[in-house]
Chain A
Amino acid sequence: MVEHGDIRVVHRGGSKIDFRQPVITNDSRFLLCASGECVKVFSTSTEECIHDLQGHTDLVTGVLLRPSNHLQVYSCSIDGTVRLWDFTDGILIKTYVIGCPVYSIYASANHEGVIFIVVPMLGDKRSELFQLVAVHLPQSGDQLVESRELSAVLSNVSSNPADIAFGRGGEYIASAKGLQLKVFFFKKQKSYEFSLKEDNKKGGLNTFTCVACHPKDDCIATGHGDGKIRLWRNFNHKKEYTYSTLHWHHNAVSSLCFTPEGTNLLSGGVESVLVQWRYNQESQRDFLPRLGAAITHIAVSPDGALFCTSHSDNKITIIQSCVKVSAVIQGLVKGDVQTDLIVDPRSKALVLNGKPGHLQFYSLQRDKLLYNLDIVQQEYIHELGLEQFEVVKAAFDASGTWLATVEERKQKSAELEVNLKLWAFDEQTQSFVLNTTISAPHEARITAMCFRQATDSQTTMLVSTSKDGHFKAWQLATPAHTEGPSWSCDFVGTYHGLVPECCCFSADSSLLAVSFQEVVTVWSPTSWELLTTLSQPPGAIRDLCFGRLSCSKYLLGTTAKNLLCCWNLLTCSLEWSTSMDISLLLADPLSENMAAFCCQAGCTDLFVFKPSEPRPLFSHKAVCSGTVTRAVFAPREKMLDSCEENSQWLNRSQLHFLTQYMDLMTFTTKAEDDRLMASSKQLVIDDSVAMTPFYLLLGKHRHQQQENQDPMSSLSAERTPLPQSSVAIKELLQTPAHVLPSTSFLCSMFVQSLLISVTDLRSNHSERHYPQMEKTWNSGNQQHLFQENPDDHQMICRLHLPQLRSICT
């Protein structure tokens, strides 16, 4: 066995962004959301991810703007810390160690220096009971602060962050769990409890699902499991409370949110419709339907101009005051993947099931969803128990000009509906356009589908095998009359009435192998002659693969009875076989290598081998738990030049696979990791600096100088000051022209102001010791550069201007 040395299994992209409620910043320019172990900062206008706030070591469970400073944000995590970030620059300011997992975080402007978090009741992780505690954040200069002084506010609360909300001005906090609503008043230090009955007669479900409080009025809105929204009033009395009920949603309300002025209430649920209720005129409501998937969270920007909704298909929609969707941030949709993982030969994107009825094209290099291709092209109706069309198979031809998809829908009463669709790539729109729909291509479920691989052949051919015992070859018919070319059936084949399970074309497309239970039949696709049959009973064939390049004479098959067989097609005999329980066998299209995922004792092992060699090139024990059923070799953009024996197989393409829990994993080498790290350091997106002529002049100049003098300081911590705000220039620009001295005088002065660079060295050096401190108390406006500057020229400059002005006036 070969040791795996420096090759690691890593997560690659596609993290969830719909886990917790996103946050829109005060200026509505950025959107922050928890995503796995980091917080992502997106631009609301361009939908691009600007940077990740990385530092947490476990799942991030909440993001919250700091009430006292709108440029800072708190994040909490299961790892037991709350961190404070400067999100514009992506700098970690402080880390508060709480000591037990934090599930959600709340704060109010009225409670200065206090945050409220939800932690497990007894402080241990396994506990099912949670409590809301207040944490006093100690004022300290250190970066790492221990703050373990927790004072309990409410016990037995829900861990769902939507179930707790601060009331008007932070006077009270409302928490709902099960059938109980608790309101805790901070002034009185007293809590009131309101209970609902389990169930009313019409199949209602009164459990609370979410809570929101009106910002200006004493009103609490609660969402319920049966789609009702209750507005509670007068709740500072134990007995005389009232509530009114709104009902539009037909299923549980998953999120409620008041707009900042309290004029509107937004609600969303599984219907994927955003409902806007007028506060106090609840009969008037507006709808924003067809948002794509069930709404999980709703957030409103502090100025009320933007709404954003998170959806269960890993998507965030940004909406301009409830009329128009302005941007959609879409992550990798993780649903039930039924298609194999495929790589689009044209865009090199990973293709798999996305939203219901769609295929998603996901760029592995950029970790970005390129687009969704609507395969089913039907209005998506969400209803429980309704059978939907699902895309179950997809295949690309070698050049990426054709895409074949199979969608099916099984109803209890009716027979199986299957559609085979063929899509042609349209150069103009750079997308796939439906060419042919074949309804009921087979009488039963399609088991496998593959395109003929040869790029040089004139005709493209698709072979599909089905449970009805036939395999069919489909061909692009030449344009018969005025309409364009379309696909039609060319050949139907059977073998003794057995059911075909998989099919595979050889590398040069001269052979087609179709497995019929335990028999492999080899056909010639040109004449449709049955050339030979290969059989290795017992056990039905599970996977078939032809070797590539120098190994193209080999045909490999795995059987259900734990056998991996390799046939030599020149001699039509078994070359070798070995006993392994292989769940997935796949061939690298760019090399001779084959990868076999082998399931053993609840874990999956990986073997990479060449069919011609008896020894595996690489093996990795326990890649992940559970079986791996989907994997793909994705070609690299740039070839690696590793010459170590065990990592050579990763040179041309990279192996990606999906685990049981739908995590997309890949294999990387150490060299590659190092390279990635290096490149990420350089990639600091600097977008808050306005590009002014002065910036071009001054900024560049200063930049160079900083690089020269201080290679130690990290670039992200160091920002060039905004040149517009430097006092000399501001005065120079803002003073009316008629009061300014002559241009020749000013010119020399201006040029002199540029000369600071040489003497600035020392002062800059002294500041560099506290780059982060500087950030905290002075972000953006960096006058101190001039104030602390001992240079004479600067002083003259600063002194002269006001004097000159006074003389002139």
Chain B
Amino acid sequence: MASFKPTNIPVYPKLGEKVTQDTLYWKNYKAPVQIKEFGAITNIDFSPVTPHNFAVTAFTRIHIYGPFSQEPVKTFTRFKDTAYCGRFRSDGQLLVAGCEDSVVRLFDVGGKVALRMFRGHTKAVHVTDFTSDRYQILTGSDDYTCRLWDIPNATELNVYQEHTDYIRCGITSKLNRDLFITGSYDHTLKVFDARVDKSVMSMDHGQPIESLLLYPSEGLLVSAGGRYVKVWDLLKGGQPLVSLRNHHKTVTCLALSSNGQRLLSASLDRHVKVYSTTNYKVVHNFDYAASILSLALAPDDESIVVGMTNSILSIKHRKSPEESREISGQQRRRPSYRVFVKGKNYVPKQDDYLVSKPVKQYLAKYDKQLKKFNVSKALDCALEKWIRLRNPEVPVAVIKELDRRGTLKNALAGRDEQQLSRLLSFLIGNLVDMRFAPVLVVAAEMILDIYRSILGQSPVIDRQLLRMQDLLEREIDYQKELVEVLGMLDTMFASSLPKMEVPCSSVSRSNGLSILIQV
């Protein structure tokens, strides 16, 4: 006796995001900690030494947060105006920050008062950084100049006046103490050597530059400005390598994940995109609540810190391995499981006589009814609320099976108001889904045929039928528009292809719905 073959529930391809290693990696963060600052957060910098505190520059303050604390461990408030670009020195002892009032201040991380004040710029200083020998400071200002300062003497060493607009980003080389790069709103980024008075290399980004990033090897430079992120090969004399346009608003900040495999860019469009540095494809995407101004990653990607225009600082910590395991383990360790498995893992001994037991076939509720040819009950079982809402393909498959058996009409007929309205609400929800439409249209036609005589008797049913009519009209209009678009596309394709035997005008006309999915 062949066993009953259960209804085949088709597996539809999941639309949208595919699960890759990257999505698993980047999703493995806890829910973000959100901290309200006093103003827009313009800069975040992680201390290079453990415990990797980070300095958050917002309005007239710089807060330093510990890796796990949600309260600042230290605050620098001695700014007359908005502070900019608070950055740690490579030993984590000193912190430098620019200010709207054109004075650059140097702080000891332990102290409160500025150790040094560097005066000389005439406008707001947006860029500050330590050189890799730790004794000099690079600053860039809205007065179009960038300067080098000596820390011990607090004197100005050099002034470079090559940019023709605000300098809003700059970075020093970690390997060479004399090398630094600045980017300006005049669309250029310039590489300077402190040993000579002029820039040694100049590149045109094409948009006002907002952020710069050097690869750890310092062979590649990444610049962000406008909607573009561009990668330059410094070793080939500043040749452009890639231009990425994945944001639809200005890109404000760049970061590298600690192993250098992934590049992150944050933008005013509220997204953080993660690129693979091998092929520069977007591998992951984060959404935030407001436009992002600053972004930083802790060493080893332990946390992602994002500062936004609405003065909210969002900190995401990575899940520890135990935590991530716990979640998957929880699903497996149901209380009933142990009972269920009891005695099943017994291994028979050599002398044991095995009595074989027929394997019981477990059937879903609707299949049990179908097996008994109870067609109405089978449909009712499939239309139970949690099934109907969570996986609509089950009722659709059962309707299809009933149709194949030629008993769909019997199953649909003879229902009271409540049952019928449940059926109709399911139809309204899924009728225009192109995966289900061929099956459900048949069922809808049958329902209309069967219940035509009772129209006007129940306000609930009438309302639902009107809704269905409305839905169908809208769908028809929509399809018409799509066909028009398709026609336009066809002519465009036809004109753009070279004149020869064209085997490509192949997208069939009624396939409009598949186009819809791709769009």
Partner-B contacts on A (CB < 8 A): 288-292, 324-325, 374, 377-379, 381, 383, 385-386, 389, 409, 413-415, 437, 439, 443, 468, 470, 480-482, 492-495, 523, 528-530
Contacts and interface: CB of A to CB of B under 8 A. Distances in A.
B503 A482 contact: no
A494 B406 contact: no
A414 B444 CA distance: 13
B1 A481 contact: no
Interface centre among B8, B19, B404, B438 (most CB of A within 10 A): B404
Contacts of B401: 378
A776 B8 CA distance: 58
Contact of A482 (B10, B19, B370): B19
Chain B interface, DSSP helix/strand/loop, else mixed? loop
Given A289-B1, A379-B370, A386-B405, A414 B438 contact: yes
Given A378-B7, A443-B510, A470-B506, 9 more contacts: A291-B1, A379-B5, A386-B405, A414-B403, A481-B18, A492-B507, A494-B503, A523-B503, A530-B501
A290 B4 contact: yes
Interface size bracket, B side: 20 to 34
Given A290-B2, A377-B8, A379-B5, A443 B19 contact: no
B418 interface: no
B476 interface: no
27 contacts: A288-B1, A290-B2, A374-B5, A377-B5, A377-B8, A378-B401, A378-B404, A381-B404, A381-B405, A386-B405, A389-B404, A413-B442, A414-B438, A414-B442, A437-B10, A468-B508, A480-B18, A481-B18, A481-B20, A482-B19, A492-B507, A493-B503, A493-B506, A494-B505, A523-B503, A528-B503, A530-B503
Interface string B188-217: 000000000000000000000000000000
B508 A470 contact: yes
Interface centre among A378, A493, A523, A530 (most CB of B within 10 A): A378
B356 to A, nearest CB: 12
Nearest to A290: B2
Contacts of A482: 19
B4 A415 contact: no
Contacts of B404: 378, 381, 389, 409
Contacts of A386: 405-406
Interface string B3-36: 1110110100000001110000000000000000
B410 to A, nearest CB: 12
A494 B504 CA distance: 8
Interface in B406-465: 406, 438, 442
Contacts of A379: 4-5, 7, 370
Contacts of A523: 503
Interface centre among B3, B406, B442 (most CB of A within 10 A): B406
B220 to A, nearest CB: 29
Contacts of B7: 378-379
Interface string B390-410: 000000000001011110000
A437 to B, nearest CB: 7
B8 A290 contact: no
Interface of B: 1-5, 7-8, 10, 18-20, 370, 401, 403-406, 438, 442, 501, 503, 505-508, 510
A167 B30 CA distance: 84
Nearest to A287: B1
A437 B503 CA distance: 26
A414 to B, nearest CB: 6
Nearest to A488: B13
Contacts of B507: 492
A379 B10 CA distance: 15
Contacts, number: 64
Contacts of A290: 1-4
B11 to A, nearest CB: 8
A476 B1 CA distance: 36
A439 B439 CA distance: 13
Nearest to B373: A381
Nearest to B12: A439
A482 B24 CA distance: 12
Nearest to A472: B506
Nearest to B371: A379
A443 B508 contact: yes
A303 B508 CA distance: 67
A492 B509 CA distance: 13
A415 B19 contact: no
A494 B20 contact: no
A489 B427 CA distance: 31
Contacts of A289: 1
Nearest to A317: B1
Interface centre among B405, B438, B506 (most CB of A within 10 A): B506
A409 to B, nearest CB: 7
Contacts of B505: 494
A377 B401 CA distance: 12
A528 B503 CA distance: 8
A384 to B, nearest CB: 10
Nearest to A379: B5
Contacts of A415: 438
Contacts of B438: 414-415
Contacts of B403: 414
A121 B438 CA distance: 59
B246 to A, nearest CB: 21
A377 B5 CA distance: 7
Contacts of A470: 506, 508
A287 to B, nearest CB: 10
Contacts of A291: 1-2
A414 B508 CA distance: 21
Contacts of A378: 5, 7-8, 401, 404
Contacts of A494: 503, 505-506
Given A377-B8, A413-B442, A492 B18 contact: no
6 smallest beta-carbon distances between A and B, as pairs: A492-B506, A530-B501, A379-B5, A290-B2, A493-B503, A386-B406
A488 to B, nearest CB: 10
B265 to A, nearest CB: 25
Contacts of B506: 470, 492-494
Given A415-B438, A481-B20, A325 B1 contact: yes
A289 B2 CA distance: 8
Contacts of A529: 501, 503
Given A289-B1, A492-B506, A383 B406 contact: yes
A325 B2 CA distance: 9
A392 B252 CA distance: 60
Contacts of A383: 405-406
Contacts of B510: 443
Nearest to B20: A481
Contacts of A292: 2
Nearest to B503: A493
A385 B405 CA distance: 10
Contacts of B501: 529-530
Nearest to A325: B1
Contacts of A439: 10
A292 B403 CA distance: 21
Contacts of A385: 406
B357 to A, nearest CB: 13
B372 to A, nearest CB: 11
A386 B401 CA distance: 12
B176 to A, nearest CB: 43
Contacts of A528: 503
A381 B408 CA distance: 14
A304 B456 CA distance: 64
A321 to B, nearest CB: 14
Contacts of A288: 1
Nearest to B511: A443
A492 B507 CA distance: 8
A378 B323 CA distance: 44
B517 to A, nearest CB: 14
A649 to B, nearest CB: 38
B363 to A, nearest CB: 11
